Amino acid sequence: MALETALRRGPTLRRLAKVIRQPEVLFRNLRFLQSGRPSAVPCIFVLGPPRSGTTLVQNILLAHSRVTGPRHETRFFFRSNFSDHFIPDMDERDYRRLLEASSSQVDLFERVARHYMEAEGGSHFVEKTPEHALRLRFLQERFPRSKFVFCVRDPRDGFLSSLRNPRIKLHDPRDFAETWARCADELAAARPASVAVLKYEELCASPLEKIEALMAFLGVPFEELQLRPANVAATPVSREEGHTRLGAPIGGETVGVWRRDLGAADRQVIEAIAGRGMATFGYGVSP
């Protein structure tokens, strides 16, 4: 299955060779992943199936004067070796300093969050990695004071969007639908009180209403500048292929394009695999 790189968590020859050369690294990382205590820091996690608008929502949140966080995905909770990891937006020396002072994965994430808030003067830390949706229950357990924004989009439109982005590895309808369905199943099994579900289609249709409601859920007052395209696009990601629409006003130009552009065979595969989750979110299956 050609899943996203961050989801390929099995052993590789390179990883096995490293373990053989340095077995102490394996045991150090195993201890590090055994999170001792839940986090006391309230964070905001933006997650969801691929191509569901998570980058747009992240940028809307980061446009707020009191919200800070990495501008790129960290894939933090899919890492098995933190000694080889770094956060693109962060000075590597700062990251290494925080890593050396940390006792666990959760402890390191807390320190990273505090670092961003202290450096940029924010009161709320946001992290966006779509595939963290597959670890939603784990994150709820480890971060009981945090809130989660689960972005979702019709998987038929989402699949077409993935084909337009060379960085997305889910270019097979079966792989895309299976990943989408796994994310939907994880949401269904999670505790709902700390999760806000944000449908891409509804955000495009009523951006002001939906963002005001989201900010109320997060306990942060809405700021009008959050919906200005220039502010939403003011991140390096907006210049990457597949994200150029971040510089345009929020609209529904790509909503429902599957009816015109998606082939019948691909549509049938997606609906057969993801149909149960689609029904949950109100996405009708074609007759």
Note the pLDDT of residue 250.
Answer: 84
Report the SS3 class of residue 148: strand
Q: Which of 51, 263, 4 is nearest to 155 (CA)?
A: 51
On the question of pLDDT at 125 being above 90, the answer is yes
Tokens of 234: 């003011």
Structure confidence by residue, pLDDT tens digits, 128-172: 999 999 999 999 999 999 999 999 999 999 999 999 876 777 789
Q: Are 226 and 211 in contact (CB under 8 A)?
A: yes
Which sequence spans correspond to the domains of the chain? 21-237+253-281
Interatomic CA distance for residues 207 and 192, integer angstroms:
23
Q: Which range (63-72, 77-86, 89-98, 150-159) has the least confidence?
A: 77-86
Q: Which range (12-16, 179-183, 247-251) has the least confidence?
A: 12-16
Note the pLDDT of residue 1.
Answer: 33
Give the distance from CA 24 to its chain's centroid. Answer: 31
Note the pLDDT of residue 97.
Answer: 94
On the question of pLDDT at 110 being above 70, the answer is yes
For the chain, where are the E strands, in sequence order?
43-47, 67-68, 124-128, 147-152, 195-199
On the question of pLDDT at 12 being above 50, the answer is no
Q: What is the DSSP letter of 201?
A: H
Average pLDDT over residues 171-194: 96
Q: Which helix (H) or strand (E) holds 31?
A: helix 23-33
On the question of pLDDT at 6 being above 60, the answer is no
Class of the 21-237+253-281 domain? alpha beta
Average pLDDT over residues 39-53: 95
